[in-house]
Structure 1
Amino acid sequence: MGGPTKFGGAKVVGLTSKQEMPPPGGYPKVKSARYLPNRGPSGAALWLGSAFVVGVGFYMTGQENLRRNADKLEKRAARLSLYPFLQAEEDLKFLEREKSLLEEEADLMKGKKGWVVGDTIWNRKGVWTPPTNGV
């Protein structure tokens, strides 16, 4: 290989070609594989975490519902225990209004012969109905 070389048809004397060779021990390996770093938890870990969060949420919702129902029961019991007293107060108010209305009726109808105070013109014999005096 050390002979003369032809360039463009002319012979050049003294020009020799030399083959390039790898360095002793070879070239270093080229990194051709993709380097993908770990980008977070695995799919299974995400599913388990989500299931845990949902489970805790359902548990807390159930506990809040139990507490709210106990509060409602307590409030309902308190109201039921107060109903007789409230009804008694309303009955007294009704009797006072009824008395004042009967007094007013007696005053208005004092000149009418045969008028009975508190009597009605409607036929309601034997049937009690709540008064409809608009009060």
Structure 2
Amino acid sequence: MSVMSNVVNRIAWDEKGLVPVIAQDANSGNVLMFAWMNREALEQTLILKRAVYFSRSRNRLWFKGEESGHVQHVKAVRMDCDQDVLLLLVEQVGGIACHTGRNNCFFEEYDWDKQDWHVVAPVLKNPDDIYKS
């Protein structure tokens, strides 16, 4: 068994062969996004030191930044105590992690007084300028 197999086999994959992944900015500590990985995505991430996820909507590997250029250079990969969640500490190129043009995907916050969601982070770049296709 290869070293990579030993590493990948430590993960408690779900019934679909996926594991949830949180991407966090290695410098600021800000949580950038949540995604999924399959075995191949994790292997590619470890080999390339670049975030590679599994897109459930496209049913294929998703090399973060493949369309936008906003790649994530992986500085560390951590596994939680139950071995069923991964945390990537990343350097986010271009400062934009979200397809909405924001620096992270967690831009809506619940307002207890209004009992509704409101946007707390601005659009930094128009998504139409990021995704030409």
TM over 0.5: no
- Structure showing greater Rg: 1
Give the structure with the larger strand fraction.
2
Higher RCO (CA-CA < 8 Å; seq separation 6+): 2
Give the structure with the larger helix fraction.
1
TM-score after normalising by structure 2: 0.17
TM-score after normalising by structure 1: 0.17
